[in-house]
Structure 1
Amino acid sequence: MRWRPTRPRHAALPESRMLPTAAPAPQSVRLRINGVDHAMEIEPWVSLLDLLRDRLRLTGTKKGCDHGQCGACTVLCDGERVLSCLSLAVMRDGCEITTVEGLAQDEALHPIQQAFIAHDAFQCGYCTPGQLCSAIGLINEGHAKTLDDVRELMSGNLCRCGAYPKIAQAVAEVAFGPGEHRSERAHAPIVPGTVPG
């Protein structure tokens, strides 16, 4: 005779241990995006990136890695750079968001856009929206004092084409003015008998 358990193998969990079956309700969010006010209901798990691209059709902001490692999704929130793939839209309630579509004013390009063109600081262009927004955020932060600082502070934005030198020069020109963007090495004294860096 075979032993049988007294209760079913897959007995129901007590109600106190059951997972909720209903998804959280959408939340009301107000955002000012590129100068336009938006009031909407958003599910709490929607990223700012997906809101911009899928709900508002602002597709200039790119989805690269979707893990916060490439910088292609960088936008400005209240003037600070933010990786929109890692930011839940509901967390930005009341913020002013600027995407690449909001940089130019009427027919006039933003100075950073003009500098990218002048320095030929893009090739395929996929990373450019994130690079532009990151550059504006970097300038707003005011921490970059040299070209080397610009390189370091822009290092979170990857460029598959390798246009880094031209990107750094374009950002430095806007941040410091033309001709004012030498590297730390250019300012270092040359010691006799050594080869400059």
Structure 2
Amino acid sequence: MNKVVLATRNAGKIVELRRILAEAGVPVELLGLDAFPHIPDVAETGLTFAENALLKAHAVAAQSGLPAVADDSGLCVDALGGMPGIFSARWSGSHGDDEANLDLLLAQISDVPDGRRQAHFACAAVLALPSGEERVVEGTMRGVVIRERRGTGGFGYDPIFVPDGESRTTAQMSPDEKDAISHRGVAFRALAQVIAEVLS
């Protein structure tokens, strides 16, 4: 069975992609970066989601000698000119402080009326081979940012994002419901097909 490395130490992302690969019938063994403690974290210095994902995937493919998958994603709020975008995880200053990021974002758009709070989640997912070959796919999920947190599932900005056509936030959905419509679910399902083609 082919081995593929997902360039993350986030156990939730690994479980998510394993589930999507299994549902797509793609026979690969997915490993996380915890299996490669010698590989350092890659600085996300790109200016787009795709650039950041490519940086991570190529670095991990080169250092592991295996095909590598990486993704970068974030919330793009229309009233903030598309921000926080690639800075979503560190919007409040420190990386991954979900509560502080939520507080800051809600404060920044507190004066924006309900009809003008459109936003979308974007995800770029990449497969990079040790040879340097690369494939990029993207997914989006449009919706609105609400004024107060609702729900305890998911992570990041999920408690304040209601997808188009829904009355619930993504934090109020089951993992399967969220996967079916989410930016990362869309991108990872497209990437599963790419992995099947490239590694078959």
TM-score range, shorter chain: under 0.3
**TM value normalised by structure 1:** 0.23
- Please state which structure has a larger fraction of its residues in helix: 2
Q: Larger C-alpha radius of gyration, 1 or 2?
A: 1
- Please state which structure has a larger fraction of its residues in strand: 2
**TM value normalised by structure 2:** 0.23
